[in-house]
Amino acid sequence: MIFVFALFLLTLLVITAIAIVRTENLFVSVMLTSIFSLLMAANFFILDAADVALTEAAVGAGITTVIFLSALALTAEREKRRAGGQLIALGAVGILAALIIYATFDKPRLGDPEAPVHQHVAPWYLEKTPEYIDIPNVVTAILSSYRGYDTLGEVFVVFTACIGVLFILGVRPPEQTATRSAESGGLRHHLIPQVVGRLLVPFIVLFGLYTQFHGEYGPGGGFQAGAIIATGVILYALLEGEGEALRAVPRSVLLGLVVGGALLYGAVGVVCMLMGGAFLDYSVLSADPVWGQQLGIIIIEAGVGMAVCGALLSIFHAFAARGTQP
Amino acid sequence: MKLLELLGYYNYWVFAITLMIGLYAVISKANLIKKLIGLSIFQSAVFLMYITMDKVEGGTAPIIQAGVEGQIYSNPLPQVLILTAIVVGVSTLALGLAIVVRINERYGTIEEHEILDAD
Amino acid sequence: MLSAPLIILLQPRGLAWAGATAAALASFAIAVALTIAVLDGQTQVYAMGGWPAPYGIELAVDQFSALVLLVVTGAGAGALLAARSSIDQQIEPERQPLFYSAWLLGLAGLAGIVVAADAFNIFVFMEISSLSSYVLIAGGPDRRALPAVFKYLIMGTIGATFYLIGVGLIYMMTGTLNLADMEARLGDVTELNPILVAAGFITIGLALKAAVFPLHVWLPNAYTHSPHMITVFLAACATKVAIYVLIRFDYMVFQSKLDDHATQFAQFLMPLAILGILVASAVAMFEGHLKRLLATSSVAQIAYIILGASFVSESGLAASAMHIFNHALAKGGLFLAVACLAYHYRDLRLDQLGGAAARMPFTSAALVVCGFSLIGIPGTAGFISKWLLITAALESGPLGWILVAVILVSSLMAVVYIWRIVETLYFSDSAKGDIAVAEAPYPMVLVTWLVALLNIGFGLFPTMPLTLANASAALLMGYSG
C-alpha cells in the first residue's frame, strides 16, 4: 500500500514541477513551489527521514515561500512571454536526463541492505552512538558531534547569507520604485485569520522550543526549531504588521541572536581545545565523556537554533522593510 | 518485491526528471525570479537522490529505541548531509532574491533581455 | 593546531578594516608556519571533534594545499592591507562592517576548502566562499555588477549542485565521504557507470566554478564591475581554489582506480584548455576596458593551469601548481595597480587613461613589472611557470610541438595586450588635463610595489615555490601510480 502511495506522491511531484515551470503567474508559481516542498517532505517521511522531512516542511514550504512572496511584492507578479531558444534547452536537458537515467541502472536498488552505503561508515554510527554519546537520535549525534565541523560551516553559510542580504538591501531604495507592499499593514482587519492566527502563534513557538530541546530523543534539533520559531514570528508579523513584530523582537536582538549563535558554536569548539581535546571534541567538557558529549550537543544545538532563527528573521525583515520604507 | 524494485528505480527517475525540469527553467526562462524557482527545484531533486539511497528495507527512522533489539534503521548519514544542504539552499535563494530586488530597483525590470538592453 | 586558521578567521566578525586585516595577517602567518611544517614532506592531519577519519571530519595539509593556502591567505592579507582607501571611496561607511565581515568569511571559506579532506566539507565551505563572494562583487556602486552577480550566482549554484550530485553518487557506491578512504574503497566497486557519471558531474561542476573556457561567461563581467579591491582578491585566488579541488579530486580519487581515466581526462580538458588560451587571449587583445581586458586574460591563464594538469605527468602538474602561485602574484599585482589608477580615474576604458604614467609613475611602473610577469619575460615569476609548462609539453609526446606553438602564440598575444596598456599609459597624450598629478594613497602603492618586487624576486629565486610545486606534483602522481 505504501508503495502505491509513494508512486503516487512521486508522480505528483513531477506534475507539480512541470506546472511550476509552465505557469506564467509568478505568484501561482511560488505557491506551487510550496506544495512541491510539502510533497517532497511527505516523500522523505516515507523514506524514513523524519528529521529531513521536518526541515523540508518548515524551511521549504514555510520560510522559502515567505521570502519569495516578499520579494514578489517588491518586483513584478507576472513573467513576460519570450520566444526562442527553448527548444534547444529542452533538447539538451532531455539528453542529460536520459544519461542520468541510464546511469541509474547500475545503482543499488532502493532499500537494498547490501548496498555499499549501508556497509561502511553508517553501521559504525548506529552501533557506537549509544556507547559514546548515548542519545537516541543518531541523526542529531552525527550532525552535532561526528560531523560537527560541517554544521559549524553551515551555521556560517546562514550567517553569510544574512550579512549578505542585509548588506545588499542596506542601501536606501531610490524614490520612484519604493512601492508599498500589501502586507505592511498586516491582516489586522480580517477577523478570522486574526483570531485563528493569534491562537496559533504561541503554539508554533512552543512547538519550536519543543523541537529544540527534544532533538536528542525524537526528530528535531536546532535547524528545525530555528525555522519553526521564525515561521511563528513571521506569521505574527503578517497578522499584526511589520512594525508590531519588530517591536516584539527588535532588529538588534535578531542580529545579536545570529552573532551569538555562531559565536557560541565556535566558542564551544575553542573551549574544547583549551581543555586539551581537539576542536569540537566535547568529550573533554566533563569528567564523564558521554555526559560531556551530551552537554556539548545541547549547547551546539542551542547555538544553531539561535543563529538560524535570527538569520531567517533578519532576512525576512530586510525584505519586508524594503516595501514599507517611504 | 518486484514492485519495490521498480519503485527503487522510479525514485531515481523522478530525481533525474525533476532535476532536469529545474535546469530547464534556469536555462530557458528570462525572468530572474523564475530562474531562482527553477534553481530551488533543481536543488530539491538532489535532496531526493540522497534520501533515496538511505532507505533500508524494513527499516525505520534512525532513532534508537531503548529495549528493542534487532531493529533495522535507515542510514542516518545522508540525512545529516541533506539537513545541511537544505539550509545552504535557502541561504543561496535568499541572497539571490535580494540581488533580484536590487536589480529591479536599479533597472526597473526583472527580465533578463531587458536588463541586457538597458546597458 | 591546524584548525587555528579557521577559528581565527571565523571568530572575528562585524568589525571594520583593522580587525579584518589583523585576522587575515594572522591567517597568513599560520599558513607560512604550516608551509614550513610540511616542507619536509610530512602531511599534517587534524581530526575534527577527535573522531577518527572516515567517521569524523578530517583536515589535511600537504605540500599542494600548503602552496594554495599561501596564495589564498597571502592574497587576502595583501588586498586587505591595501584596501582601506579604495573601499572608503566605493562603499558607504555604514555598510562597511558588513562588507569586511563578508570578506573575512570568503577568506575563511576558501581556506577551509583548501585544508578540507572530506568531500562534503568541501561543499559546505565552497558555499560559504561563494555566497560571500556574491556579496562582495555586488558591493560596488556600479549597477552592472548586479546582473553580473546574478549570473555568477546561478552558474555557481549549478556548479556546486553538480558537485553535490557527483559526491552523492560516489558516496552511494563507496559509502564514505573522506577523500582518502574513498580512493581506497573505490577499488572494490564493480559497477563503474555511476562512478563515471560522478566523475563527469564533479568535473563539470568544478569547471563551472573555476571558469574553465566554455563555462567562463560569468567571469569577465563579475570581475569588471566588482569593487576594485575585491577584484584583486578574487582574481588572485577564488578560481584557483576550484581548480585545486578539481585536480585534487581527480588525482586522488579517480586516476588510480579507473582504467583509461587518464586519457579521458586529458582528451576532455586539453582541447578546452587550448581553445581557452587562444580565444581568451585573442579577445583580450581587442578589449577596450582595462579591467575587462585583465579579466579576460585570467580565463586564458586558468586554461594554462588546466593544460598543465591535463598532461597527467609530474612535470605538467608541477607547472600547474607553479602557475597557480605565479599567476596569483602577477594578476594580483596588476589588479592592485589598476585599483591605484582607479583611485583617480573614474573611467577605466583604455582611451581615457592616456598619459597616466606621467601622473602616477610608481603605479604605472609596478603595472609594467607585473605585466611582464604575466607575459613570462625572463627574470620574472611568470617566466618560470611558462618554462615549466613548455618543458612538460615537450615531454608529453609527439604533439608537444603543437602545444609549445600554442603557448608561444598566446604569449605573443599577451605581449600585444600588455603593450597596449603600456602604450596608453606612457606614450599617449592625455585626453583630459584636469586631473591632478597625484599618486594613490601610499599604503596601496606600497603593497602594489611589494607584489611587483615579489614577482621579480620569485622570478630570480624560485626555489621555495618550486620545491612545493614539485613535491605536490610528486604527491599527486603518487596517488595515481
Query: Who among A44, A157, A319 is closest to B87 (CB)?
Result: A157
Q: CB under 8 Å, gap of 24 or more: what pairs does C16-20 form? A: C16/C96, C16/C97, C16/C100, C17/C80, C17/C83, C17/C84, C17/C87, C17/C96, C17/C100, C19/C100, C20/C80, C20/C100, C20/C101, C20/C103, C20/C104
Residue A83 CB partners (closer than 8 Å, separation 6+): none
The answer to whether the Cβ–Cβ distance between A166 and C98 falls below 8 Å is yes
For residue C203, what pLDDT is reported? 85
Which pLDDT tens digit goes with each residue over C80-125? 777 777 777 777 766 777 777 778 778 888 888 888 778 888 888 8
The CA distance from C78 to C469, in Å, is: 22
DSSP C255-269: TTTSTTHHHHHHHHH
Supply the DSSP symbol for A295: H
C34-90 pLDDT, tens digit each: 777 666 656 666 666 566 666 667 777 777 778 888 888 888 788 877 777 777 777
Please tell me the distance from the alpha carbon of residue B108 to that of residue B116, in angstroms, as a whole number: 12
**One-letter amino acid of C223:** Y
At residue C145, the pLDDT reads 83
- The answer to whether C152 and B95 are in contact (CB under 8 A) is no
In the predicted structure, residue A117 carries a pLDDT above the cut 60: yes
Distance CA A253, CA A310 (A): 8
**Res C213: pLDDT:** 74
- Residues 177 to 216 of A: which have CB under 8 A from any C CB? none
Backbone angles phi, psi at B31, to 5 degrees: -75, 130
CA dist., res. C342 & res. C363, Å (int): 11
Shortest distance, CA C131 to any CA of chain B (angstroms): 7
In the predicted model, is pLDDT for residue B88 greater than 50? yes
Q: Find chain B residues with C-beta within 8 A of C162's C-beta.
A: none
Distance CA C328, CA C235 (A): 7
Q: What share of chain A is helix, strand, coil (3-state, %, to 5)?
A: 80, 0, 20
Q: Do C11 and A168 touch (CB under 8 A)?
A: no
Dihedral sign, Cα of residue C97, residue C100, residue C104, residue C106: positive
User: Which residues lie across from C60 on neighbouring strands?
Assistant: C45
Q: Which three cell numbers stand for residue C21?
A: 586585516
- Is pLDDT at C436 greater than 60 in this prediction? no
Q: What percent of chain C has pLDDT over 90?
A: 0
Mutate to test the interface with C, among A99, A102, A279, A314 (most CBs of C within 10 A): A279
Chain B hits for A18, CB-CB cut-off 8 Å, are 21
The percentage of chain B sitting over the pLDDT mark of 70, rounded to a whole number, equals: 77
All three cell numbers of C93, joined, read 561607511
> Position of cell 519550536?
A208
CB C287 within 8 A of CB C293: yes
- Using CB atoms, pick whichever of A117, A147, A171 lies closest to residue B54: A117
| C124 in contact with chain B, both atoms CB, cutoff 8 A | yes
Question: How much is the average pLDDT of A100-126?
Answer: 64
Residue A182 has pLDDT above 50, yes or no: no
A-facing residues of C in 404-443 (CB < 8 A) are none
Q: A284 CA to chain C: closest CA distance, Å? A: 10
Task: At A156, give phi and psi (nearest 5°).
Answer: -75, -25
Note whether B92 contacts C131, CB cutoff 8 Å: yes
**Chains adjacent to A (≥3 CB pairs closer than 8 angstroms):** B, C
Measured at the CA of A159, the angle between CA C245 and CA B35, to 5 degrees, comes to 70
Average pLDDT score over residue span A304-312: 80
> Residues C234-258: what's their mean pLDDT?
79
Confidence band for A326, pLDDT divided at 50, 70 and 90: very low
Pick the residue from chain A with its C-alpha nearest to C103: A160
Average pLDDT over residues C447-471: 80
The yes/no answer to whether this complex scores an ipTM above 0.95 is: no
pLDDT at C8 over 70: no
Give chain A's mean pLDDT: 72
Q: Which residue of C has its CA nearest to A126?
A: C55
What residues of B are in the C interface, CB distance below 8 Å? 19, 23, 26, 32, 35, 39, 42-43, 46, 49-50, 53, 77-78, 81, 84-85, 88, 91-92, 95-96, 99-100, 102-103, 106-107, 112, 115-116, 119
Given CB atoms, is C127 within the 8 Å cutoff of chain B? yes
Task: Check CB contact of A18 with chain B, cutoff 8 Å.
Answer: yes
Q: What is the DSSP letter of C47?
A: E
Residue A271: pLDDT over 60 = yes
Instruction: Supply the pLDDT for residue C1.
Output: 41
Asked whether the predicted pLDDT for residue A176 surpasses 60, the reply is: no
Residue of B nearest to A64 (CA): B90
Kindly list the residues from chain A whose CB atom is less than 8 angstroms away from the CB atom of residue C3: 269, 273, 278-279
Residue of A nearest to C122 (CA): A150
Residue ranges per structural domain of chain C: 276-481
Q: Which 121-150 residues of chain A touch chain B by CB within 8 A?
A: 121-122, 125-126, 129-130, 136-139, 142-143, 147, 150
| Chain C stretch 140-199, residues whose beta carbon is closer than 8 A to a beta carbon of chain A | 169, 171-177, 185, 189, 191-194, 196-197
**Partner residue opposite B53 with nearest CB, options C144, C147, C172:** C172
Testing the interface with C: which of A150, A283, A293 to mutate, by most C Cβ within 10 A? A150
- pLDDT for A214 equals 66
CA distance B119 to chain A (A): 19
Tell me what pLDDT residue A105 has: 62
Domains of chain B: 2-57+73-118 (1.10.287.3510)
Size of interface A-B (CB pairs under 8 A): 295
Cα–Cα distance measured from residue C329 to residue C227, given in angstroms and rounded to the nearest whole number: 19
Q: Does pLDDT of C480 surpass 60? A: no
Q: Is A125 on the interface with C (CB under 8 A)?
A: yes
pLDDT digits (tens, 9 = 90+) for C157-180: 988 998 998 888 888 777 778 777
Q: How confident is the model at residue A278 (pLDDT cuts 50, 70, 90)?
A: low
Max avg pLDDT among A50-54, B112-116, C185-189, C290-294: C290-294
Those chains having 3 or more beta-carbon pairs within 8 angstroms of chain C are A, B
Top residue of B41, B79, B104 to mutate, by most chain A CBs within 10 Å, is B79
Q: Is C55 on the interface with B (CB under 8 A)?
A: no
Q: C311 exposed, middle or buried (CB, 10 Å; 0-12, 13-18, 19+)?
A: buried
The span from the CA of C243 to the CA of C324, in Å, is 9
Contacts for B68-77: CB closer than 8 Å, 24+ residues apart: B72/A113, B73/A126, B73/A138, B74/A47, B74/A48, B74/A49, B75/A117, B75/A118, B75/A122, B76/A122, B76/A125, B76/A126, B76/A138, B76/A139, B76/A142, B77/A117, B77/A121, B77/A122, B77/A125, B77/A142, B77/C177
Contact A73, A182 (CB under 8 A): yes
Q: What is the pLDDT of residue C95?
A: 72
| Cα angle: B81, vertex B87, B90; to 5 degrees | 140
Residue C19 clears pLDDT 80, i.e. is over it: no
Residue A67 with chain B: CB contacts under 8 Å: 90, 93-94, 97
C146 touches chain B (CB under 8 A): yes
Phi/psi of residue B42, nearest 5 degrees: -55, -45
Distance of alpha carbon C305 from the chain centroid? 10
Residue A160 Cα, gap to closest chain C Cα (Å): 6
Residue C63 has which C-alpha cell?
A: 605540500
Q: How far is CA A137 from CA A47, A325, C292, in A?
A: 16, 45, 53
By Cβ distance, the residue of C14, C127, C185 closest to A259 is C14
Considering only CB atoms, B54 lies closest to which of A47, A89, A93, namely A47
With beta carbons under 8 A apart, name residues in chain A contacting B15: 100
Provide CB contacts within 8 A for A245, sequence distance 6+. A233, A234, A236, A237, A317
Set of cell numbers at residue B101: 530586488
Listed range (A107-121, A124-138, C270-284, C372-386) with the worst mean pLDDT: A107-121
The set of cell numbers assigned to B72 is 533495522
Residues of chain B contacting A132 with CB distance shorter than 8 Å: none
Q: Taking CB atoms and an 8 Å limit, are B93 and A85 in contact across chains?
A: no
**Percent of residues, chain B, with pLDDT higher than 90:** 0
CA distance B85 to chain C (A): 8
Report for A90-94, A242-246, A248-252, C282-286: range of highest mean pLDDT: C282-286
Burial of C52 (0-12, 13-18, 19+ CB in 10 A): exposed
